[in-house]
């Protein structure tokens, strides 16, 4: 854990400092380079998400070119959830112990190394077992995801003032689904046949390398010399294991982690199984990709509009509860419409609403997790929710797949030729039911005070009483 030091203040001279100097030391400052830090974290997350789903849009061509089964191709994406679940707690420890700078640079290098390893079967003639290189590269990228996906709330808390935290968290959070959107568009555009695969893998390695270079050169420190707010001074004040113990004993946090983590798991299941669900009802792969893209695009728009509002009003609990209720309604609509044929407009609308409400509420819920768990570190508070979400996502996906039944070939099915389509009726109803269950539990039983804001308010009042002229300042890079 990196200790917080105030500019110009040491244990030796604190007691000798003049009142005016001490008041200056207690002031809060924001630095222009906070936007550079936020940009690099966002770019690493975006590149990582691009690598995650780069194979999925062209799975059939990848399988044919490398002589792999569709099960193996699916594991190239599923390995992200498995690795993040297994190593998520370790990543939280690294983030809180090594610091933001070290964790971000390590994540960027792992991301770049994974992107390069994926290229090996294409550039080395006669490579044996290309799947091992592809899976090894994806596994390194999955380790990188564990480090960068937990960072937005911590960057917002350590580098941004109180009135900008939710917006900063939102900007870094939406970079991940933005990468998924880019992969859904870029992979089909680059790959028309097997000979195009080396080009695709090389193109994805370029941004990973650029971001790796930027993070190594541009990131100079994990925390600013002077904190941007009173709460940032005591950020990550709890030791790692002590912090985890406090989280487990915090009833409000446990409810939020299980319920919102479950909704994250439903989101992962929706993104992974969307094509298989819709092809059984006669919709093309192109339309399934369009629905996924609309979900992400509207989610980004919703987050851009929603987070600044919450930044101003501080209605974290109300916004999270209302957002999840709207997600539940959209999920029920999708469960019903997805079983019908010829409902393209209705399906596109429900998928757009799922993304609009679901993605918009995610950064707000992450800020709420920090508020209700303070003084536990932001990395632990947010990271544990993502770990639970990925674990729940795996269980929900396995349950949904297990509940499908094969049905005789239907004339309207567009699923892969030679395979009987699956009946997803029970599975999508289970998804909608779980979403409603998680939302109801959160609405009825989640109550919390905003501990982070209260701590800042108390410290700010104390500072103003001692130093009437003290105020926040904007500092240059």
Q: What is the pLDDT, as a whole number, of residue 38?
A: 92
Q: What is the pLDDT, as a whole number, of residue 9?
A: 37
Categorize the per-residue pLDDT at 292 as very low, low, confident or very high, splitting at 50, 70 and 90: confident
Judged on CB neighbours under 10 Å (0-12, 13-18, 19+), 352 is: buried
- Which of 127-131, 370-374, 467-471 is predicted with the least confidence, judged by mean pLDDT? 467-471
Question: What is the rounded CA–CA span in Å between residue 60 and residue 73?
Answer: 9
Chain centroid offset of residue 155 CA: 14
- Which of 20-34, 139-153, 287-301 is predicted with the least confidence, judged by mean pLDDT? 20-34
Chain centroid offset of residue 438 CA: 19
| Greater pLDDT, 396 or 16 | 396
pLDDT at 434 over 90: yes
Q: What is the mean pLDDT of the chain?
A: 81
- Other C-beta atoms closer than 10 Å to the C-beta of 218 total 12
Note the pLDDT tens digit of each residue in 193-232: 888 899 999 999 999 999 999 999 999 888 888 888 766 5
Categorize the per-residue pLDDT at 1 as very low, low, confident or very high, splitting at 50, 70 and 90: very low
pLDDT at 258 over 90: yes
Question: What is the rounded CA–CA span in Å between residue 378 and residue 1?
Answer: 12
Residues contacting residue 124 through CB under 8 Å, at least 6 positions apart: none
- Which of 393-402, 428-437, 456-465 is predicted with the least confidence, judged by mean pLDDT? 456-465
Categorize the per-residue pLDDT at 308 as very low, low, confident or very high, splitting at 50, 70 and 90: confident
Question: What is the rounded CA–CA span in Å between residue 355 and residue 323?
Answer: 11
Could you tell me whether strands 405-406 and 422-423 are parallel, antiparallel, or unpaired per DSSP bridges?
antiparallel
pLDDT at 17 over 70: no
Note the pLDDT tens digit of each residue in 88-107: 878 888 887 788 899 999 99
Q: What is the pLDDT, as a whole number, of residue 448?
A: 86
Judged on CB neighbours under 10 Å (0-12, 13-18, 19+), 341 is: exposed
pTM of the entire predicted model = 0.74
- Other C-beta atoms closer than 10 Å to the C-beta of 128 total 8
Q: What is the pLDDT, as a whole number, of residue 21?
A: 39
Go through the domains of the chain in sequence order and give each one's CATH number.
Answer: 31-217 (1.20.1250.20), 239-459 (1.20.1250.20)
* Burial annotation 93-122 (CB, 10 A radius, 16+ → b, else e): bbbbbbbbbbbbbbbbbbbbbbbbbbbbbb
Quick check: 231 and 381 in contact, CB under 8 A?
no
> Which of 220, 206, 222 shows the shortest CA–CA distance to 111?
206
Lookup: tokens for 415: 């699923």
Q: What is the pLDDT, as a whole number, of residue 212?
A: 95
What is the CA angle 187-348-413, rounded to 5? 75
% of the chain with per-residue pLDDT over 70:
84
Quick check: 64 and 191 in contact, CB under 8 A?
no
Helix (H, G, I), strand (E, B) or coil at 422: strand
* Beta bridge partners of residue 324, listed in sequence order: none
Note the pLDDT tens digit of each residue in 353-402: 998 998 888 888 988 888 888 878 777 788 888 888 888 988 998 898 88
Q: What is the pLDDT, as a whole number, of residue 5?
A: 40
- What average pLDDT does the segment 270-293 reach? 80
Judged on CB neighbours under 10 Å (0-12, 13-18, 19+), 4 is: middle
Q: What is the pLDDT, as a whole number, of residue 18?
A: 41
Quick check: 411 and 280 in contact, CB under 8 A?
no
pLDDT at 454 over 90: no
């Amino acid at each position: 854990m990196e200790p917080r030091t105030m500019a110009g203040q040491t244990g030796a001279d604190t007691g000798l400092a003049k009142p005016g100097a001490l008041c200056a030391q207690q002031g809060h400052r924001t630095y222009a380079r906070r936007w550079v830090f936020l940009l690099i974290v966002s770019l690493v997350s975006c590149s990582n998400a691009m690598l995650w789903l780069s194979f999925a849009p062209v799975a059939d061509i990848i399988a044919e070119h490398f002589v792999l089964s569709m099960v193996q191709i699916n594991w190239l994406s599923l390995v992200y959830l498995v690795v993040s679940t297994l190593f998520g707690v370790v990543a939280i420890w690294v983030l809180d112990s090594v610091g933001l700078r070290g964790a971000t640079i390590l994540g960027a290098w792992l991301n770049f190394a994974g992107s390069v390893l994926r290229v090996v079967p294409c550039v080395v003639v006669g490579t044996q077992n290309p799947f091992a290189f592809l899976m090894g590269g994806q596994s390194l990228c999955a380790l990188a995801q564990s480090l960068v996906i937990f960072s937005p709330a911590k960057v917002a808390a350590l580098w941004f003032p109180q009135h900008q935290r939710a917006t900063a968290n939102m900007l870094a959070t939406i970079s991940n689904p933005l990468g998924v959107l880019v992969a859904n568009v870029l992979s089909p555009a680059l790959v028309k046949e097997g000979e195009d695969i080396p080009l695709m893998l090389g193109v994805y390695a370029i941004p990973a390398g650029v971001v790796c270079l930027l993070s190594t050169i541009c990131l100079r420190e994990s925390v600013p010399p002077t904190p941007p707010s009173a709460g940032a001074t005591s950020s990550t004040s709890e030791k790692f294991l002590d912090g985890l113990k406090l989280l487990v004993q915090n009833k409000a946090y446990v409810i939020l982690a299980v319920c919102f983590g479950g909704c994250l798991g439903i989101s992962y299941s929706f993104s992974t199984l969307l094509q298989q669900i819709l092809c059984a009802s006669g919709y093309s792969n192109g339309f399934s990709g369009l629905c996924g893209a609309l979900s992400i695009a509207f989610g980004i728009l919703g987050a851009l509009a929603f987070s600044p509002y919450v930044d101003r009003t501080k209605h974290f609990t109300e916004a999270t509860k209302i957002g999840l209720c709207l997600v539940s309604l959209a999920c029920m609509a999708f469960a019903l419409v997805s079983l019908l044929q010829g409902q393209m407009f209705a399906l596109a609308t429900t998928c757009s609403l799922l993304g609009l409400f679901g993605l918009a509420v995610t950064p707000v819920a992450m800020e709420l997790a920090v508020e209700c768990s303070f003084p536990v570190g932001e990395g632990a508070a947010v990271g544990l929710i993502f770990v639970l979400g990925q674990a729940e996502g795996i269980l929900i996906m396995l349950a949904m797949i297990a509940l499908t039944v094969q049905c005789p070939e239907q004339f309207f099915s567009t699923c892969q030729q030679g395979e009987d389509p699956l009946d997803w009726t029970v599975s999508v109803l289970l998804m909608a039911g779980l979403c409603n269950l998680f939302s109801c539990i959160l609405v009825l039983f989640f109550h919390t005070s905003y501990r982070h804001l209260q701590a800042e308010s108390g410290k700010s009042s104390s500072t103003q009483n001692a130093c009437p002229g003290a105020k926040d300042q904007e500092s240059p890079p």
